[in-house]
Structure 1
Amino acid sequence: MRAILFGGGLALVFSLLGSRVAITVLSRYGYGQEVRDDGPTSHHAKRGTPTMGGIVIIVASVLAYFLAKLLTGSTPSVSALLLLFLFVGLGVVGFLDDFIKIVKQRSLGLRSKAKLIGQTVVAVTFGILALSPALADERGQTPAALHISWIRDFESWKLPMILVVLLIWVIVTGTSNAVNLTDGYDGLATGACVMVFGAYTLVNIWQNNQSCAVQQGASCYEVRDPLDLAVVAAAIMGACFGFLWWNASPAQIFMGDTGSLSLGGALAGLAILTRTELLLIILGGLFVAVTLSVMLQVTWFKATRRLTGIGKRLFRMAPIQHHFEMLGWAEITIVIRFWIITGLCVAAGLGIFYAEWVAGAG
């Protein structure tokens, strides 16, 4: 438990101070945000704001985790190292995207195919390693499972390894892109991530206290290294919290794709490693809603254009946060209300998680 407190606290301090340094350095070298010309006109004022702040979140989280392990004299677990690999790996993909935007002075960085290839390499590598028998513990438990999971594995839904790796790829790419789509308003994605990573910290602590490795029972959890996963989740939560000080409206720094892809990847990794893949849909309900708004907008536009020759839109602009801005909502109003929605989703997810345990214990 001390490692969790150290991880979260140190990451908060590192991110809070590191973001201030990053603002100065990035501004000095002109590493500013590019803005889409087809986006809301109010966002044009944000052009030039330092970006790639996700580097601070990543460095603060990783450094805090290893310092927490050092201070408590404990050894990093395989599950935590795999999660950090996914976190940092997708951060590298996002960094390349951000860097190209800055160098080319355009709002589009990596081509969509190149970005997908990068996400695929990281996700598939993570999936293969997480399912590898070579990384199983003394109980034969691998970090990830061959089962589809809700709050725990569906034992009757065991899949071949190749299908599970494909499912992991879908979850990782989908979640990382979902957080990326949600980013763009001052503090929106950062504040939402604070709450969801906080929820996973609590989930991991509970799973550790009710672990099957400690005491067998109908309601125990077959999750490997839950307490160490809680340290990583707490570190990322703390790093996001510190970054939010500078990223809140009016933002002095943006996380960029470096931050959004890495944070989305970490959420996907936590869902996979904690056997709560479907529960992530509820905990990350805001990210799901934002992604669905884009999918519905594109699908409806193509369908109406095919039927009538004129494409029509469901929303004035997608993702859905832009729709509300086009309706006249102030950006800060959208951010706060979307935070409230995230809080409700997190509360619902944790409530379902606890209710399932109570039902199993009874």
Structure 2
Amino acid sequence: MATQPFEAQAMPNAETAAAQAYGASSTVSGETVAMPATQVASADDAAATQVFQPAALAASAQAQPAVMPPSIPLDQVSDEDDSDGAEPRHGGSGKKNTSKIVGIAVAVVAVIALVVAGLLWWHSNSSKASQAVALAECKVAAKQYTNAQKKLTTAISNGQTSAQTSTSDVADANTLTTLNQALQGAGNPADTAKCDSSLNATELKSHTKELQNDASDMADKTDAINNAIKAVNTSKATADTNTLKSNLSSAISQAQGTLDNSAGSVADENTRTALQNAITEANTVMNGTSPSESDVNNAISKLQKAESDVTASMQAKQQADAAKQAQEEAQQKADQEAQQKSQDESNNSDNNNGGDNSTSTDGTDGSHN
């Protein structure tokens, strides 16, 4: 049995309608035969029944010119009914199908609307969440900025105080120059940093990055000032140590001179021994890396006391020697005076004896005359 194709003018759903009308198909001897849905069918329905032969159809398509297939009137195609397959649907069935299509379309539109609304809702919530996270990060950066600004302000204040140090009070004047340069580079940072909640996530992230960069820059400036302050203080301590050592060196030199000049000139030699010990201790302090001010002052005090004791002992020795010399001179004078007196008395005695002899001779002579 030759298979006749459907006409091209048939509606796109004619095949579907036919399938619904006939319901099933069977294959006989390689040919596909459409089976009616019911045992009883109208003449028009029977005429619409076609036997499909794919192989023959392909051969005829090559051998014969294209012929438009006969059309199947839509009003002859019965609609499938679950309750009664033999009952055709005409007239009102089109409205039912239209209503069904409209309902499906409305449902699809509703689903699409829900999907779009869901996407919009998700995007809105996602944007809000992203903005909230960005705002929180911005506030953290703002707090870091404020802390860095406070530290920099404190460093500037301390640096300005240290910068008042005189160059004569430091061992290296370059430390003061470095400090002044660090203070000039610090500038005047803003007092506060705020995060505006009206900004979107992108703007907040950009502002957060700026705050972080500014906080890092202020931290570097703070470190530069603090390091310069430490350098000035170290140089000042070095200068103080040098001054202390210089003072101690002078005290040692003076004490050593007193010790040298007092040899054999003290009333108590123990004072010179004490001075020698004080000089030794002072030299130990002097040779230290960075002796404290109290150690230096104690060493100088011991030197001065020992030196004073030696000087006093020297004065006592001088006074004793002077007294002894005066006593010796007085004794010598007394001895001389005694000797002179004795000699004078001896001379007077001799003179008296000589006068008596002269008188006696004269009297004798006179008596003889």
User: TM-score normalised to the size of structure 2?
Assistant: 0.21
**Greater RCO, CA 8 A, separation 6+:** 1
- TM-score w.r.t. structure 1 length? 0.21
